[in-house]
Amino acid sequence: MASIIEFQQSDIEVGSLLGTGGFSTVHSVDLSYMKLAEIDDYLAEQEKSFSQTVQQTSPEQQMTRRLNFRDSSEATLEACYHAEKAHVVKRLKPSLKSLPPHVQEMAAEDLKHEVKLLSELSSHPNIVTIYGVSSNFWEAPEKGFLCLERLVEPLDKALAKWKKEASSGIKILTRRHLAQELQAKRIQDVAIPVARAMAFLHDHNIIFRDLKPGNCGFGTAGIIRLFDFGFARRIDPKKTEDYKLTGHIGTLRYMAPEVASSEHYGFPADVHSFAMLLWELCTLQKPF
């Protein structure tokens, strides 16, 4: 697991609630200037780490990927120093204490698992950046938190906005041409980067299991990111058969049939989810 920053409670000032999940909450947060400086150094290490992953690619691919990383990391640094509440903290819901102990343990383990994966993977420009965790996180995750970059807009909200714009009063003569241009731009700015991120996960033997617009979001530079790795799992590359992973995991609308029916499944399940996302990008309609 890559080294990440350790936060004390005094390093943060928690702001407004931004969202909730099944077991967790996300709040905006302000960080101390000392921690912002640490993030500067951390992002430099992330760029170095990402550069090492592209050494086997062609010179053209290396240049493109490094430019993408530079754009995203510079935007993150600018946000650190100039934007209001450019970070978030994610923590377990206090209400979990009222649930059975085994549910609390499962939620805590899932959050730990997410931190381990993100600390390894978030050097990729299309995966949300994790900055660190609280000093008590590993011993008492129910009392700790993780600090992530704040995404500007989730893809599901962007899709709703694009759909509304597409149905607005554009002249019929120009609508088709404009729609084709916008569709091409969405594929370039969203579908291709998401596909690269998913390929990166699969290259690291990780299945995401919940790819959908609600788990993608735009960073400060407008670059799409994958986030919420709670359902992601690592697969042993030495095994050739599909894994007996937990069935019915993810979101039904984007779920592969074999997952919905609790059959054996593997990486193709992620490909199915990507196909549903791509269809929605192209049509601006919900699948099914």
Using left for φ > 0, alpha for ψ between -120 and 50, and beta otherwise, residue 249 falls in beta
Q: Which two tokens stand for residue 39?
A: 């993030």
Cα angle value 106/128/218 (rounded, 5°): 125
Query: Which residues touch 104 (CB under 8 Å, ≥6 apart)?
Result: 96, 97, 142
Residue in 30, 156, 203, 210 annotated catalytic: 210
The residues with which 28 forms a beta bridge, in sequence order, are 88
270 catalytically annotated: no
Query: Which residues touch 105 (CB under 8 Å, ≥6 apart)?
Result: none
Cα angle value 6/12/13 (rounded, 5°): 165
Separation CA 162–CA 236 (nearest Å): 40
With beta carbons less than 8 A apart as the criterion, state whether 151 and 9 touch.
no
Which residues are known catalytic residues? 210
